[in-house]
A and B are shown apart, each in its own frame.
Chain A
Amino acid sequence: NAGVTQTPKFQVLKTGQSMTLQCAQDMNHEYMSWYRQDPGMGLRLIHYSVGAGITDQGEVPNGYNVSRSTTEDFPLRLLSAAPSQTSVYFCASSPSPRVPPLHFGNGTRLTVT
């Protein structure tokens, strides 16, 4: 039982490049979410999903896309990277949106130059 797995652990991008951050969970959790963590800002919700085929925006969705084609996977796409997207990104899951995020991945540290 691996919990929530995020890849890659580190990534450096140039401004304007695109990439996908991967997130997978093996606990059959309905609810998955993406957060970014910046110094002095806590964690801020980017996008979330309450089940396969259903996604919605969080607090800071601009510049990011998500999809949820399976229960297990919830990738986050950066469409055109900007230096303001330099951050640590965390994926989280829980059995339902009524339960707070129980399992977090160990994060992807992204630098945009």
Chain B
Amino acid sequence: QKEVEQDPGPLSVPEGAIVSLNCTYSNSAFQYFMWYRQYSRKGPELLMYTYSSGNKEDGRFTAQVDKSSKYISLFIRDSQPSDSATYLCAMRGPNAGGTSYGKLTFGQGTILTVHP
């Protein structure tokens, strides 16, 4: 079983829809959670970075973390065709010590298409 599971999709929605992207994980040591966006033929770019359980909002994007359920989500409001990309969740353990220091574990990525 993979440490991080992400539905690969593809996910296709009309412009203006609310998009929900999700990841589950099995390693309870994970403390930091990230979402990256990757356009075709490009490197990933960091969208959201959260530490604790709860919600973090940045414009049209909201990251949600539920550590008790080992479940994270990214919501995109008022989706735009420019949001069409692959979305990758990533997570890692504590900052100090341990073999997980600085190492990210990624989900498989979800391909999103937003139709005009």
Contact = CB atoms under 8 A, between A and B. Distances in A.
B43 A102 contact: no
B88 A42 contact: yes
Given A41-B108, A42-B107, A43-B106, A107 B43 contact: yes
A33 B45 CA distance: 15
Contact of A58 (B6, B88, B95, B103): B103
Interface residues of A, number: 25
A43 B44 contact: yes
A104 interface: yes
Contacts of A105: 43
B34 interface: yes
Interface string A1-32: 00010000000000000000000000000010
Contacts of A97: 95, 101-102
B42 interface: yes
Interface of B: 4, 6, 8, 32, 34, 41-46, 49, 88, 90, 92, 95, 101-109
Given A42-B108, A50-B102, 15 more contacts: A4-B43, A31-B102, A41-B108, A42-B4, A42-B107, A43-B106, A44-B106, A45-B103, A48-B102, A58-B103, A100-B92, A100-B104, A101-B104, A106-B43, A107-B41
A41 to B, nearest CB: 6
A106 B106 contact: no
Interface string A55-66: 000110000000
B103 to A, nearest CB: 6
B41 A106 contact: yes
Contacts of A90: 43-44
Contacts of A101: 44, 46, 104
Residue of B32, B43, B106 contacting most chain A CB atoms (<10 Å): B43
